[in-house]
């Protein structure tokens, strides 16, 4: 299943990158999504190319029964992000891989921070897959709306967070 989301934030790409790589903000978004941030690491300086690893515990009570059968009561979700160095105008590309322990779902996505002066377009494209024969398509289709909502939640919360700080 394909993931596609896009939003415009009235803040520079540098400010958005700093926010998206902030433990405090990632923990806030995790809580808003109903989960718990269990680990967060950033390797390398945020002003250059770096990697981030985000681990969350997500309750499965709002997921479809098909997903809960494989996952139980809680999902352990690991998100690995490989951030490019900023380009000349401050834009970034982030390669994202999400794995879910105990559930046959994988996500590969690319998030782009497209710099437009004092604003940034945040674009995400990707795909949700599942390796279970015969049921994989159904599992991926069930997971995709929840993952899409999580990506949109990050952008919505970024806007509110930065507005409060301005």
pTM of the predicted structure, to 2 decimals: 0.86
- pLDDT recorded at residue 41: 98
pLDDT at 136 over 60: no
CA distance to 16, 27, 34, 41, 47, per residue, from 83 (Å): 13, 19, 26, 13, 10
Average pLDDT over residues 22-44: 94
Q: How does pLDDT run across 40-69, given as a tens digit for each residue?
A: 999 999 999 999 999 999 887 766 665 666
pLDDT in tens, 72-131: 677 788 999 999 999 999 999 999 998 888 767 788 999 999 999 899 999 988 887 776
């Amino acid at each position: 299943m394909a993931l596609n989301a896009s939003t415009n934030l009235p803040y520079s790409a540098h400010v958005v990158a700093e926010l998206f790589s902030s433990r405090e903000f990632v923990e806030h978004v995790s809580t808003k999504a109903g989960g718990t941030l269990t680990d967060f690491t950033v390797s390398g300086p945020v002003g250059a190319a770096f990697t981030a690893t985000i681990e969350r515990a997500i309750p499965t009570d709002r997921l479809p029964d098909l997903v809960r059968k494989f996952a139980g009561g809680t999902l352990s979700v690991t998100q690995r992000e490989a951030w490019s160095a900023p380009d000349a105008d401050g834009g970034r590309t982030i390669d994202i891989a999400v794995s879910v322990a105990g559930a046959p779902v994988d996500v590969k996505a690319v998030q782009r921070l497209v710099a437009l002066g004092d604003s940034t377009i945040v674009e995400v494209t990707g795909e949700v897959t599942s390796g279970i024969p015969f049921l994989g398509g159904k599992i991926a289709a069930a997971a995709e709306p929840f993952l899409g909502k999580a990506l949109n939640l990050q952008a919505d919360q970024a806007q509110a967070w930065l507005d409060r700080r301005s």
